[in-house]
Amino acid sequence: MGSALLNLIPSLGRSVIQTQGLLSEISAFLFEVFKEIFRPPFRVRETIKQLHFVANESLIIILVCVCFAAMVTILESSFHMKLVIQNDSMVPGFAAMLILRELGAVVTALLLTSRVGAGFTAEVGLMKITEQIDALRMIGLRPIHFLVVPRLIACILGAVFLTIFANGICLYSAMLVSEIYLGFTPATFLLAMNRFVEMQDFWFSLIKAAVFGALIPLVSCFVGFRTQAGAEGVGSATTKSVVTSSIGIIIFDFVLSYLFSFFY
């Protein structure tokens, strides 16, 4: 028992040192990123290119997924309300509130993580192991300014725009399912939504979208800069970035929802 404890102490010490080193790296990376955002030259063309990759190429995937997610939300809400209180008259209002507060922003962000975040990590990681990032430094370019800032701005804007579209298609899909399967007219659905949903719900969903949109490229590029050599290193980095971003989105969703609860 005593020897096992003695063997555990060095392992814990190494873990603490590694954690401190990682936190130091993250802090330095974030400081550098937010410093570079305001430094010219501003790479407008590259930002637009990345915005096309983030928003335009992800639009159909996100709209299809959130559409079916909204349908499932309506049907499940109706089933459980009938089961518990034998009445589903409040389903349209609750569903609209859930869509605006959670579903639109969170599902959009998770889908962006699996598509855009993985792409960012693979791209930056490949540049790292092929020494292209070192080449950028040698010709006087700042890698964070050159690689991270355009992706950060594009992902924030793209996440906000996609969340707006996702909220719209979610509400329309929910209204359609309510009419076809539950017998609620569009007017009834809109009236219930007006009673349950406030304008601040929409603004809070956009704030969540912006935060999630910033988190994805920051995590993806940070992991990409730390990619180990070889195809296995790129694959491992891509997996790590998607998992970390997904966990971060869930955690930040809880934190933001808790903070927003004080404004209702």
- Would you say residue 22 lies in a domain? no
Count Cβ neighbours within 10 Å for each residue of 12-31 and write b for 16 or more, e otherwise.
eeeeeeeeeeeeeeeeebee
39: region left, alpha or beta (phi > 0 left; psi from -120 to 50 alpha): beta
- Would you say residue 102 lies in a domain? yes
- Would you say residue 29 lies in a domain? no
Percent of the chain with pLDDT over 70: 89
pLDDT in tens, 140-153: 888 888 888 999 99
- H helices, E strands: number in the chain: 12, 0
Tokens 């996702």 belong to 166
- Would you say residue 36 lies in a domain? no
- Would you say residue 12 lies in a domain? no
Residue type, 132: Q
87: region left, alpha or beta (phi > 0 left; psi from -120 to 50 alpha): beta
Model confidence at 4: pLDDT above 70: no
d(Cα 108, Cα 79) in Å, to the nearest integer?
A: 25
Model confidence, pTM: 0.87
How far is Cα of residue 128 from the mean position of the Cα atoms in its chain? 24
- Would you say residue 104 lies in a domain? yes
pLDDT in tens, 181-212: 777 788 887 887 888 788 888 899 999 999 99
- Would you say residue 18 lies in a domain? no
Number of domains in the chain: 1
pLDDT in tens, 61-118: 888 888 888 888 787 777 777 776 766 667 777 788 888 888 889 999 999 998 898 8
- Would you say residue 27 lies in a domain? no
pLDDT in tens, 218-253: 999 988 888 887 778 888 888 899 999 999 999 999
Under DSSP, the state recorded for 116 is: I
How far CA 150 is from CA of 13, 19, 37, 100, in Å, comes to 38, 29, 9, 28
For 235, other C-beta atoms within 10 Å of its C-beta total: 14
d(Cα 158, Cα 229) in Å, to the nearest integer?
A: 31
230: region left, alpha or beta (phi > 0 left; psi from -120 to 50 alpha): left
- Domain ranges, residue 71: 42-263
